[in-house]
Every structure is written in structure tokens, then in C-alpha cells.
Amino acid sequence: METIDSKTIMELDEKYVLPTYGRNPVALVRGKGLRAWDAEGKEYLDFTSGIGVNGLGYCPDGWVEAVSRQAATLQHTSNLYYTRPCAQLAQKLCQRTGLDKVFFANSGAEANEGLIKAARKYSADKYGEGRSTVVTLVNSFHGRTLATLTATGQEVFHHYFGPFNDGFVYVPANDLEALKKACEEHPVCALLMEMVQGEGGVTALEKGFVKEAAAYCAEKDILVLADEVQTGIGRTGTFLACEQYGLVPDGISLAKCLGGGLPLGAVVLGEKMAKGMGKGTHGSTFGGNPVACAGANVVVDAISEEFLAQVRRKAEILRAKLSALPHVKQVSGLGLMIGLELEEGIQAADVLAKCQEKGLLVLTAKTRLRLLPGLILTEAEIDEAAGILEDVLKSF
Ligand SMILES: Cc1ncc(COP(=O)(O)O)c(C=O)c1O
């Protein structure tokens, strides 16, 4: 393979790639497990997993083999034909979620679009057009397409790209009265929520709120939709975060960790919502691509009950170590979806930059430092990351 240094990669990127991302000054060329290397051979311990995507780490053997084999056998067919990886993955997702039917997409935003469409279709079929408003939560994040940007309950995202879609209203998380008021004032068909708001600052919803909101929605025939794009596929210690809330939603969106590093999203629907989504109601050229699905089958198979017990155990160890670090006020989130609230005056972005210098990759979410390590992390890697964080935090 052609060798190219980090500086050249960054210069090329800056010249030709639209600068919509605030990239870190690191060009990664190779990875294995939780380790990644730049072009000059500098090693990083990665506690970002590509923002919650590489759940099994970089280039896990079984996934590489399945993806390579499928790429060399049948890389794409269109959705006019049946393929085995797609059918088998759909079966597994239905078995694991208790829901009935899957639509495959390419990303989290696209999965949420499908979820919103299916909710409106259910309502239009049953109540006629117009009962189409979707309630989302303040501080939520649902994606960057126009509908999902509008669904995102953060004012900062609602500029420049208008006109935005009609049919979304926002209520504060954990505020049941506000939810009821919104449902009385608007023709609401669905409530869409993340069990743990990720981009919004790694904040878990209160269990009581989720339970009461679900009961209220059931009473009013308002669909409950769970955006499990970031929380799903084992990230929080259960296959879905909903399980820890005793919630069986009417529909779920999945992405990130599902493809193990290839672009794949999924809309998983209970029978009630699936019923209306017949031929021609939705589609996506690349959705259910056999190579992405072949990799996802390996990911879903790996997330066994035993594997999940290990995720919970390691999350507990990591969280205990993080709570004891200097300048850490609070450790938020659930399982291996972790936010660190730092004492006033310490900027998460500064901590991130110093960690990076010392070879540890971390994230931020709003004012918090954010960790989303691969689900396969070891106790030695926990110690190593906590050690680097301790050194960095001590320097403030
Ligand atoms: C909860 C949630 N929903 C949706 C999305 C959008 O996913 P994608 O970037 O794959 O479109 C994200 C991405 O961070 C997310 O965290």
C-alpha cells in the first residue's frame, strides 16, 4: 500500500473535504481491538470506538472474515432480490427485540426517518391524515437530515437550513405534565426518545418518567419510539437500553454499533406499526446491503447474554475508577455510554486535547467529557485509560 504521512493526509483533506467537522489533528491508518495507529506509528488507546460504532473494536477477526467473504461473493443486489445476510439479520433483530419486522437503512438519521414515516402511516391509516405530530425531548439528537434535524430538540440545530418540517414539538425530558399538555394541544401520533441522550450530554432518562410516559401513550394510542441508534446493540449493558427501563416500544431505530463499522441502520417495528408499511411505502438503494449485513450478523451473534454480563461488569469497574478521578463531579450515562461532568473552569475540549497527546482518544458531549469504548475492552485497558485521565486531570 502507498505510504503517506499524516501531514499530507491532513493537507489533502483540508484542501478537498468540505470542512463541516472539527477534526482532531490525528490521521489514523490502522486499528486492532481498542488500539489505532497513525501514519508515523504513534499508538492510541481508543475510548471513542468511532462515536460508538466499533463495538467489537477495530477489525475484529470474525467480522473481517465475514465481510471479506461476502464482498468476494455478492456485494450488492438491490432490494428487488432476496439475500441471505439481510434475511438472517432481520430474524435475529426481531428475536432480540421482541418486535416483528425490520427495514434496513444506512445510517441512524435514515433509520429515524423510517421510524417517523411508519408512525405517521399507522396514524393516517387509523385516524386519517393530520394526526401526525411527533413529540421529542429537549436536548435530544436524532440526526442531520431535514426531518431528523427538526426532530432534534436543540435550538442550535434549527437555523440556516429552513424551511424545517412541520409536525414536531419538544418537551423537557422527565416532565410528564409537559408531555400530556403537548399531547392535548397537538395532534400527536408518536413520542420519540433516546433512553440516554448521547449528543445532548450523556444523560439517562428517569425510569419513572419512561414508565409513566409509556402508560400515558398506550392509553391515548400514541406510539412510543425508541431511538437506540447510540444506546442499542449492547452499549448500555443490555441489547437495548429499553430493557433496563422495562419498555417494549412500538418501534426502534438502530445504527452505529449494528454494522460493526460498516454503514447500516435498521428500523425495527412491532406488528402494529409494521402493518401499514407495505410495498412502495419506503425504500433505500443500499439498505440491507449484503456486505454490511454479513458483518452485522457477526456483531449481533457476538452480543450474547454472557458478553452483556461482561459489558456490565467492565462498565462498573470503569465507572468506579472514573468517579475517583480528580476534578470529576459526576459520572453520567449508562453502561459503557459514559459522561464525565468536570469541575467548573475545566473545559472538556482541553482535557480531550491533552489525552490525545498522551495517546488516549476520548470525546466530548456538550460540556462533558464522553467515553464510548469498544464493548470488548479489557481491565488492563480500563486501568491504562484511567491512568492517563488521572495524569491529565491532575495537571489542571
Ligand atoms: C441517538 C442518535 N440518533 C441518531 C443519530 C444519527 O445517526 P447518523 O449519524 O448515523 O445519521 C445519532 C448520531 O450520533 C444518535 O446519537
pLDDT at 377 (0 to 100): 98
Band (pLDDT 50/70/90 cuts) for residue 333 is: very high
Would you say 118 and 251 are in contact if contact means Cβ atoms under 8 Å apart?
Answer: yes
pLDDT at 207 (0 to 100): 98
Nearest CA to ligand 1 atom 7: 108
Q: What is the pLDDT of residues 260-317, one digit of tens each?
A: 999 999 999 999 999 999 999 999 999 999 999 999 999 999 999 999 999 999 999 9
- Taking the centre of ligand 1 as the mean of its atom positions, its distance from the CA of residue 255, in whole angstroms, is 8
- Taking the centre of ligand 1 as the mean of its atom positions, its distance from the CA of residue 230, in whole angstroms, is 7
Superfamily of domain 6-60+305-394 in CATH is Aspartate Aminotransferase, domain 1 (3.90.1150.10)
Q: Which residues contact 211 (CB under 8 A, 6 or more apart)?
A: 245, 246, 247
Average of per-residue pLDDT across 43-70: 98
- Taking the centre of ligand 1 as the mean of its atom positions, its distance from the CA of residue 264, in whole angstroms, is 12
The answer, yes or no, to whether residue 164 has pLDDT greater than 90, is: yes
- Name the residue of 136, 197, 252, 256 whose CB sits within 8 Å of the most ligand 1 atoms, as the mutation to test its pocket: 256
R_g over Cα of the chain: 21
The CA distances from residue 222 to 141, 208, 264, 273, 330, in Å, are: 21, 18, 28, 11, 35
The three cell numbers locating residue 111: 433509520
Buried b (16+ CB within 10 A) or exposed e, 159-195: eeeeeeeebbbbbebbbbebbeebbeebebbbbbbbb
Q: Does the 74-302 domain belong in CATH 3.40.640.10?
A: yes
pLDDT at 89 (0 to 100): 98
Average of per-residue pLDDT across 232-258: 98
The answer, yes or no, to whether residue 2 has pLDDT greater than 80, is: no
The answer, yes or no, to whether residue 184 has pLDDT greater than 70, is: yes
Domain ranges of the chain: 6-60+305-394, 74-302
The sign of the torsion formed by the CA atoms of 211, 127, 268, 162 equals: negative
pLDDT at 3 (0 to 100): 81
Instruction: Please provide residue 77's backbone torsions phi and psi, each rounded to the nearest 5 degrees.
Output: -130, -15
Percentage of residues in the chain having pLDDT higher than 70: 99
Average of per-residue pLDDT across 158-186: 97
Q: What is the pLDDT of residues 101-145, one digit of tens each?
A: 999 999 999 999 999 999 999 999 999 999 999 999 999 999 999
The answer, yes or no, to whether residue 1 has pLDDT greater than 70, is: no
Q: Which residues line ligand 1 (CB under 6 A)?
A: 107-109, 112, 141-143, 194, 198-199, 227, 229-230, 255
The answer, yes or no, to whether residue 210 has pLDDT greater than 70, is: yes
CA distance 351 to 306: 34
The three cell numbers locating residue 179: 408531555
- Taking the centre of ligand 1 as the mean of its atom positions, its distance from the CA of residue 248, in whole angstroms, is 21
CA distance 96 to 212: 24
